[in-house]
Structure 1
């Protein structure tokens, strides 16, 4: 892998889970991090999100690795929050080389029983939020004539899933954005790919289990059906895939979907 020292990554949903793991993995390679997170609980879904304390501890962990971290509280649904974050990262670092569109939510519900507010929340965070962030970051990358965008989708972005129609719709939408942006941005040497994990061992599983009145193991088994005998993959597995996609080893990879599903889609 090429030397990533001094590059800058904008990571949404960075306080915990997959975003935190990717931030730390990149920091170990010398990448400076803009850690963007709402850092508060939201009305929907009614489980715990990343916190201000987690965002602060992430900054300490990254700086202990020798990289710099700019922690910013903000909501991907608010263009003013995103605009201000981009302005801050440009003032601090002068560039953005990597965008990891990771912020997302998940919740269960039959399509005909979802409220309009639940539908809108899912699509606004998972899909519109990715577009709002990229809309502010892409001009920076065009000016640089370089960059890598990774959209964190899901196996639900490649198949239908019971009681997850709004979640699947948002994740399929990320595939459309990925493929379209790859075409639009290729002339500027900007690559765009999506990743598609099966269930990942993150705090989201605990939240879903609490909402469903079951266990994290049951949540994992409900959606997984993995070919390999594992209930989920680890955040570090996601990080390894991201590290490959931002490296020169993937310099001709764009518009593609990378599956990390322990064999689920072979079922």
Structure 2
């Protein structure tokens, strides 16, 4: 038995990855905030989507626990991880996927916008990992994949708070890789360009544009595609947590359709 804990699992990249890993034989722990947030004001995952994910994972012959929790809330996350470990007795993979994105010029951002972005995208992964890592250390094995972004490798206009959070996650990845290597734990970050998800739809609605217009304006992919698919992210995670990537740690895995070549 192998177990993967995935945050932001209700829809989008998290859901696709949960199903891909379940197909590979993983039992799944799916965590999502499953409620609307004041910022950003677009649709988050829902408890109904978590329920349907659990049903789909079980249809693949694997077990699935679901938890409604905000990655910013240490007590709720700690309780979920403790319950998952009590049920499965192990956590082999952590996919730190939960995150938000929103536009705004740096000097016009509110303090709330800044704090929310940093707390969800950077502090959140740290909170989740601080509860998972001790179990991995005890097992002397494990893989953590942090979902960063192309914005975690370059600056981007009107996305300064987002880029800051994702650069921070990239640095956190490298630091964890150094700290955890003696225990046989690997830590890598992935860096997608725009992905066709409900988040992308929400950004477009907030900007009064279509999702394709948003993707083409903000990304500038070298390959003639406006975005990559959730399945592309899932396949990357699938590879990175496998034995095929057994010597990859502290590195960035880019899924950018050539954007960073520009």
Between the aligned partners of 1:222 and 1:87, the Cα distance in structure 2 is 43
Structure 1 position 167 matched with structure 2 position 165:
no
State yes or no: 1:9 paired with 2:4: yes
* Whole-angstrom distance in 2 between the partners of 1:219 and 1:182: 34
- In 2, the alpha carbon distance for the partners of 1:224 and 1:86 equals 35
Matched, 1:193 2:152: no
| 3-state secondary structure, aligned to 2:146 | strand
CA drift at 1:91: 1.2
Cα-to-partner distance string for 1:124-175 (whole Å, 9 max, x where unaligned): 0000000000011000000000000000000000000010000000000011
Query: Which moved further from structure 2: 218-227 or 96-105?
Result: 218-227
Q: How many residues align?
A: 262
1:205 CA displacement: 1.0
Give the TM-score normalised by the residue count of structure 1. 0.98
1:105 paired with 2:96, answer no
Is 2:44 the partner of 1:49? yes
Match of 2:214 in 1: 219
Aligned match of 1:247:
242
Residue 3 of structure 1: aligned partner? none
Gaps of 5+ in 1: 1-5
SS in 2 for 1:70: strand
One of 38, 60, 72 as aligned partner of 1:65 = 60
Where does structure 2 lack aligned partners over 5 or more consecutive residues? Answer: none
SS at match of 2:247: coil
SS in 2 for 1:255: coil
Give 1:224 shift: 1.3
- Report the counterpart of residue 31 of structure 1 in structure 2: 26
Shift of 1:222: 1.6
1:195 & 1:209 partners in 2: Cα distance?
A: 23
Correspondence for 1:118: 113
Give the Cα–Cα distance (whole angstroms) in 2 for the partners of residues 43 and 58 of structure 1.
25
TM-score, normalised with respect to structure 2: 0.99
Counterpart CA distance in 2 for 1:244 and 1:158 is 21
Distance in 1 of aligned mates of 2:38 and 2:10: 18
